[in-house]
Amino acid sequence: MENFIVSARKYRPQTFDTVVGQAPISFTLKNAIRSNHVAQAYLFCGPRGVGKTTCARILAKTINCFKCTKNIEACDECESCKSFNSGHSLNIYELDAASNNSVDDIRNLINQVSFAPQIGSHKVYIIDEVHMLSQQAFNAFLKTLEEPPKHAIFILATTEKHKIIPTILSRCQIFDFNRIKIEDTVAHLAAIAKKEKVKAEEDALHIIAQKSDGAMRDALSIFDQMVSLTGDSITYKNVIDNLSILDYDYYFKVTDALLEKNTSSSLLIFNEILNKGFDGHNFLNGLAEHLRNLLVCRDESTLQLMEVSASIRERYKTQSKKTVPIAIGIDFLLRGLNMLNKADVQYKTSRNQRLLVELTLLQLCSLQDAGTGSSVEKKSEFLDKPNGETAENPYTVPASVSKTATESIPVLKTDPPVTSVSSPAANPGKNSTSKSPIKSLLSISSLTNGNGSSFTVKEQKAEYKTSSNSGSSESVSLESAWNNFAESLKNKKKVNLASTLTARKPVQKDESIITFSVLNQVQEDEINAIKTELLTFLRSEMRTSSLQLKIIVDKNEGERKPYTGEEKYQRLAEKNPAIAKLRQQFNLEIDF
């Protein structure tokens, strides 16, 4: 039986041009050799299986080659290249720092550095997993690494760059290796499959590339495993079964069930997934990835962000345009991703993990307004409109139904006479303001019948009480909303600011202007600091998007109380001039 060589070793790159996914690094190293600017020390860092040690060997081989090609590649014909290919080169030393991490090991390495090479021009020392060296070994290595002999070159490789001390990093040229892209991995696997005469489906190679997580060595190991399982044919079905990967079909079926609000079907699909031995946490992550891909494929410019095969990409595009029974809206995808993200965070701490996943599926099924958005989201969009823009208020009652709304509102009958509030249409010359602590959701102007009839304050109170008791979402009065905001400031331990807000009452001059008077400039600055937050709160509570707040500083010194230290001193000096003389005599300062 012939000795089997794994693909990771059999197809290991031997030249810079054959290195997969690290073109910028290969180009830089080739230019350094071409211009004779090879550094004394390099540090190759990056994830596992991306070509750090491979590039170090290629660099060592190319430096010592006697007949480099025009493309700066080793010739594989000279004595140095042949000795390297056979593994007997005396100019290249590889040291595993994981098992040789003591000071004595570094001392032996330093003793070897002093000897010049017998063949070639440089001795190259490749130290793999260099982060495993002890602190003492790093310190012993510093001097040699900074001032090595002219024939010595050090190439350090590590997966954990943060564990290397800064004094080592400062003495090296650092190259950060990237994870290999899925497209590059698929192309490399397809080329190897063609050389090995193995038929491999593109979807199967994509799954292998995704499972490898950017490491070519892992991808080649999985490739060999699939060849051992299936022989000369690698199919998508065999790959997902052998690697315990959940099929895309499940996510497409679950998404269709969620859009159809079919709770039974979604729960049964999840039960089938559990019966096949898959973990609920992996299902949550996979479903979140599925919704993310549906969101990405809505725009042609973001299709490149999908790391799937062409056939799977077409299925995503088909489902994103599907109507079952409604089109997949962006708000459904965003709200669904938010729910799945919360479930992912809560999964490990949950005692009943299956119930958590099932509850999440039920919540996703309840997103009934996936295509149009719920009323809560409409409210948010309306409140976020700038003041200068005109947007349709979802809470405004159309004029065509104002009369019907007036007649349907219950009226609280009282014996004493009730003072009515005239509508703006009836008295255009007067600025009608209501001093009622309760403001109805419907404006007074919208409740008039067009003939100048009015709606009484008591009737407005009765309407609010009736609606609040029924549990519907209604607007509140300015005073109530103002006090609620002040109470929230107390909960945030901003007692002084809350006291300033409750010291006086705000005044609403018309439907959109609110004025509030303060004693001095300091109070005005404090309120201006929270003005945006206050306006947002008032607009939300009062259901009016056009509210504006004006802060007025009360300049009536006769009625205003002194606030700052200087004001208090001036007030006392006016009452008793002897205080001013006392301050001048003893040169006293005012505590501001």
Report yes or no: 487 and 495 within 8 Å, Cβ to Cβ.
no
Tell me the three state secondary structure of residue 278: coil
DSSP secondary structure letters along 397-425: PPGGGHHHHHHHS-----SS-------TT
Using DSSP, state whether 267 is helix, strand or coil.
helix
Closest CA to 362 of 258, 284, 280, 287: 258
**Quick check: 418 and 456 in contact, CB under 8 A?**
yes
Q: Where are the domains of the chain?
A: 7-176, 182-242, 248-365, 399-470
Specify the amino acid at residue 128. Answer: D
Query: Contact at 8 Å (CB) between 509 and 433?
Result: yes
The DSSP string of 10-72 is HT---SGGG-SS-HHHHHHHHHHHHTT---SEEEEE-STTSSHHHHHHHHHHHHT-SS--TTS
Q: Give the CA diameter of the chain.
A: 118
Dihedral sign for Cα 385, 387, 390, 393, please: positive
Burial class (CB in 10 A: 0-12, 13-18, 19+), 114: exposed
Strands 513-518 and 507-508 come out as: antiparallel
Q: Let me know: does 337 contact 291? Beta carbons within 8 Å.
A: yes
**pLDDT of amino acid 416:** 45
Opening angle at CA 37, ends 33 and 43, nearest 5 = 85
517 three-state secondary structure: strand
- pLDDT score at 343: 92
Fold of 248-365: Zinc Finger, Delta Prime; domain 3 (1.20.272)
Select from 465, 493, 495 the least CA-distant residue to 477: 465
Please say whether the structural domain 7-176 has been given the CATH code 3.60.20.40.
no
pTM for the full predicted model: 0.57
Q: How far apart are CA 234 and CA 237, in angstroms?
A: 9
- In sequence order, the β-bridge partners of residue 551 are 516
What whole-number distance in Å separates Cα of residue 324 and Cα of residue 398?
A: 33
Residue 391 has a pLDDT of: 43
CATH 1.10.8.60: does it fit domain 182-242? yes
Question: Please, how many CA atoms are within 13 Å of residue 205, restricted to the half-sphere of its CB?
Answer: 24
Query: Rounded CA gap, 592 and 569, in Å?
Result: 10
pLDDT of the residue at 44: 94
Angle at 459 (CA atoms; ends 456, 460), nearest 5 degrees? 90
Query: What is the distance between the alpha carbons of residues 456 and 161, in angstroms, rounded to a whole number?
Result: 76
| Gap between the Cα atoms of 161 and 169, Å rounded | 9
The predicted pLDDT at position 90 comes to: 83
- Give the CB-side neighbour count of residue 231, counting CA atoms within 13 A: 0
Before 577, cis peptide (omega within 30)?
no
Supply the pLDDT for residue 459: 41
CA distance 107 to 3: 38
Note down pLDDT in tens along the chain; length 592 residues. 467 888 888 889 988 988 998 899 999 999 999 988 999 999 999 999 999 999 999 999 899 888 888 888 888 888 888 888 887 888 888 888 888 888 998 998 888 888 888 777 888 999 999 999 999 999 999 988 888 888 899 999 999 999 999 999 999 999 999 999 988 999 999 999 999 888 988 889 999 998 888 899 999 999 999 998 888 888 888 888 888 888 888 999 999 888 888 889 999 999 999 998 888 999 999 999 999 988 888 887 887 788 888 888 888 888 887 755 555 778 888 889 999 999 999 999 999 999 999 999 999 988 754 444 443 444 444 344 444 444 444 444 444 444 444 444 444 444 444 444 444 444 444 444 444 443 433 343 443 444 444 434 344 333 333 333 333 445 678 888 888 888 888 888 788 888 888 888 888 877 778 888 888 888 888 888 888 888 888 888 888 877 888 888 876 644 556 667 777 888 888 888 888 888 888 888 777 5
